[in-house]
Chain A
């Protein structure tokens, strides 16, 4: 029996490129990008600030106390001042941020998972399925998102869970279109064809081959989705359709602050506004840098 021609002396891997899977390579490239490090720093800061902060910094957020109302920043015991009913601004920012982060992450996760699946199925199956699925997306996209969310939020009494669903409902369209586009190009690749030829079904092809190879666009899009969800939540709360009081969140704080612009209580607007801007910008930096990082990998 002839022995197969071995590939003698052939080194298994090209030595100059050691084995580096994407999950190691991408963070490496990411850390070389200063904006990404800044973005990541801000995100980590806010997570600590909102979830660990209240454990270390105790403040009154339950009882209205008019004696401590409207204090400017720097007042003893209230480093960032107080609001019109005497709640401490710093403590309130911490608690308000919790819902911003929770809703942002959860809504973005749901929107991304659902949207990616929707887009991948539509793009992979093609034909009439694609036409119908994408017309649904187009129709929803044509409806102003905030209007849709407001409509839903005004029909039902919002809780945090419901707000997550509502925001996710309006934001899965982006990933759906994006992933569909990616799928259209991926489905013609030889390795996808190879699975079909082996007799692999649609489910396997989409879950094992299409989505993992679209992971770049999906991850990048998720970061932008989080930023958008934080903004949407703030906007909803600002308009009074957020989680009802006594629950605190940044949009609601901002909204209340605007009532006192005439009184020069600037701190009631600046602190929540700053928080919203910072976290949104941070996630956007991260998204941009991730996009670059994935492209570097592709260039190789």
Chain B
């Protein structure tokens, strides 16, 4: 770069933030983790830079290094962080405090834990103003009201004294953003600001950040693991891997023509890209390298399908053929490949894709699982001793559906819509208030004791958090043989053999049996969870968000594995997820839930391509897609507002409070599920969307 950024900063026309060769180390027992290793980038006024990468790649550490908010043992080992010409890395602790909250605002992932539950939100938003400005308390109140209004908190003046728990998750995140904006910072760093939020709220928060940066001319760094989140928002994107930026360019170019194999692999692992063909997803083999002793050469070489000897010995510099598109790779994707580099891992096609659908259709007549008029309400009690019943949460309100033998039924909806309660009822962990659940024709909600336990062998559950679902004090062998022991299957030797078989089924070595759950990575733990679910050879597996805690490349591995197991063992899945793109990839039939009601159900393609219910349409429009053109083309679609409380659900159609087409009848009469096509596509709406 020819212009010295220091001078440029002083002149006021250069980048807001210029990071140069930033290196951050964190001391651990056996050395120092080089969490950020030579990262350089700039962000200009009004620019939104997206930083993407899988967990552990250093993206959060980069953000924290800019703020100098490193964890214990962390230090900036080299490089410069120039904010308007001032090097933040060399400031004293006192001086950097003048920068934090004033010139740089930060928004964290979880608005629940980053707000103090004991202090009203007005005072929390006022805190940076009190610290950094000389404003009078009158002026502070005015400013707080102003920023709260700016972030779209309804009736901000009235809510100054509200406590965080009185606000919804989305509103809390707005408050967090307001606090970050209070002092009019030059730079806003948002670290996974929407990961803890529902998809419909995520859309609103992203819109807000986007809108604010154009209105206020702030520079924004948006850190995320989700390619879809940045696609429609970011101007430029930096892809990080193992503490380094491996590719950086403007958004359209990155999504249109990724040059680094890692970026390419991330795209190929996305289920939405394979949803139409149901091809096997590409999954990046292996794990990111240990950053205590990073490998020589390209850090991605060990997992790269095009790596050559040169990649393993020489470190590729971050450079590009054309200005504005840099990548650290000797053999960028798309370039003519050298002789030795052949695509060894061509994406495998599955020949049974078409057959898949046809079998599902053929078996529609033979339902394995029938859920009929299921109702479940949870009492809301007050008082510790007497437990007065003060209300009830309607978790499932009269839901019926059937799942054919061998098919995958996807259940989607926002959190709190009752999808998890349905899953737990199916496996018998929740006792429904009324209604019937039949598996293979046998009603089992009425069964008790031993008979019920026997029945449960046929239905197993896979948990979202695989680690939490494995007893930390037990070895994997004991965990896997436990279901066998409970049901007294085989003797000790037979069980050991079965454990080894199960480990083989899910692609883990036998030696895994002697290890404890904490020794495994997230994806491996979910494999163990799958193995345990398979132990009793169930017919039906309920998977409750099995991949939502996983990185996209690991997610691909687990989805592939689930597909393989289904085909091999003739399993039937009920796949619960908030992520419509995952469900669309995997499921034959999709059910959409809203506030305890099943609002639409039908074949996956029909529901996705020709949604009849406005909520389904909105959900589809809201999911962030990793395609900048598509996300920018969608204007203002999506579900607005927030999920109403299930304690007092709206009368009539429960969706009417957020529905753009709601009329009087929607409040008065509850719509029934109606059939639209002979293939079983049904929706519950008075004014179903026309297919056009």
Contacts and interface: CB of A to CB of B under 8 A. Distances in A.
Interface of A: 1-17, 19, 21-22, 189-191, 193-201, 204, 208-209, 212-213, 215, 300
Contact of A2 (B469, B515, B568): B568
A199 B453 contact: yes
B487 A199 contact: yes
B428 A5 contact: no
B687 interface: no
B622 interface: no
B294 to A, nearest CB: 13
A197 B564 contact: no
B369 to A, nearest CB: 16
Contacts of A11: 287
Interface stretch (B78-86, B173-181, B501-509): B501-509
A17 B429 CA distance: 35
Contact of B428 (A6, A195, A197, A213): A197
A215 B532 CA distance: 25
B561 A5 contact: yes
5 contacts: A12-B519, A198-B482, A199-B487, A200-B482, A200-B486
Q: Among A15, A22, A190, A208, which residue has the most Cβ atoms of chain B within 10 A?
A: A190
Contacts of A212: 471, 473-474
Contacts of A215: 473
Contacts of B483: 198-199
A16 B290 contact: yes
B45 to A, nearest CB: 41
B143 interface: no
B468 A191 contact: yes
A189 B463 CA distance: 11
Interface string B446-479: 0000001110110011010100111111100000
Contacts of A8: 285-286
Contact of B427 (A4, A6, A197, A213): A197
A172 to B, nearest CB: 24
A4 B486 contact: no
Contact of A7 (B452, B473, B508): B508
Given A4-B564, A9-B303, A213-B471, A194 B286 contact: no
B519 A19 contact: yes
Interface in B547-606: 557, 560-561, 564-565, 567-568
B506 A4 contact: yes
Interface string B9-49: 00000000000000000001110000000000000000000
A199 B285 contact: no
A13 B285 contact: no
B349 to A, nearest CB: 11
Interface of B: 28-30, 283, 285-287, 290, 292, 302-303, 350, 427-429, 452-454, 456-457, 460-461, 463, 465, 468-474, 482-483, 486-487, 505-509, 511-512, 515-516, 518-521, 523-524, 527, 532, 536, 557, 560-561, 564-565, 567-568
Nearest to B427: A197
Given A9-B285, A9-B286, A17 B564 contact: no
B471 A198 contact: no
A199 B561 contact: no
B460 to A, nearest CB: 7
Nearest to A9: B286
Contacts of A2: 350, 564, 567-568
A5 B471 contact: no
A16 B28 contact: yes
B275 to A, nearest CB: 19
B568 A193 contact: no
B515 A13 contact: yes
B521 A10 contact: yes
A52 B429 CA distance: 57
Given A191-B469, A191-B471, A209-B471, 4 more contacts: A4-B505, A9-B303, A13-B515, A198-B486
A9 B487 CA distance: 35
Nearest to A131: B385
Contacts of A6: 507
B176 to A, nearest CB: 26
B461 A197 contact: yes
B303 A199 contact: no
B507 A4 contact: yes
B508 A195 contact: no
A9 B482 contact: no
Contacts of A9: 285-287, 302-303
A5 B560 contact: yes
Contacts of A199: 452-454, 456-457, 483, 486-487
Q: Among B302, B461, B565, which residue has the most Cβ atoms of chain A within 10 A?
A: B461
B469 A12 contact: no
Contact of A190 (B283, B463, B524): B463
A12 B511 contact: yes
Given A12-B515, A199-B456, A7 B568 contact: no
B30 to A, nearest CB: 6
A194 B532 contact: yes
Contact of B568 (A1, A189, A194, A197): A1
A162 B670 CA distance: 71
Q: Among A4, A15, A17, which residue has the most Cβ atoms of chain B within 10 A?
A: A4
Contacts of B509: 12
Nearest to A200: B486
A193 B457 CA distance: 15
Contacts of B456: 197-199
A222 to B, nearest CB: 18
B386 to A, nearest CB: 12
A213 to B, nearest CB: 6
A5 B508 contact: no
B350 to A, nearest CB: 8
A5 to B, nearest CB: 5
A143 B507 CA distance: 59
B429 A197 contact: yes
A194 B463 contact: yes
Contacts of A16: 28-30, 290, 292
Contacts of A189: 468
Contacts of A7: 285, 507-508, 523-524, 527, 557
B284 to A, nearest CB: 10
A191 to B, nearest CB: 4
A194 B461 CA distance: 8
B429 A196 contact: yes
Nearest to A298: B472
Contact of B519 (A1, A3, A13): A13
Contact of A5 (B427, B519, B557): B557
A53 to B, nearest CB: 39
A195 B478 CA distance: 12
B521 A14 contact: yes
9 nearest interchain CB pairs? A199-B453, A9-B286, A190-B469, A13-B519, A8-B285, A6-B507, A190-B468, A198-B483, A191-B471
Nearest to B450: A199
Nearest to B302: A9
Contact of B565 (A4, A12, A15, A17): A4
A196 B471 CA distance: 13
B464 to A, nearest CB: 8
B515 A19 contact: yes
Given A19-B519, A191-B471, A199-B453, A5 B507 contact: yes
A22 B473 CA distance: 8
Nearest to A211: B473
Contacts of B428: 197
Nearest to B455: A199
Contact of B285 (A10, A190, A195, A196): A10
B487 to A, nearest CB: 6
Contacts of A5: 283, 507, 557, 560-561, 564
A199 B532 CA distance: 13
A54 B29 CA distance: 46
A211 to B, nearest CB: 10
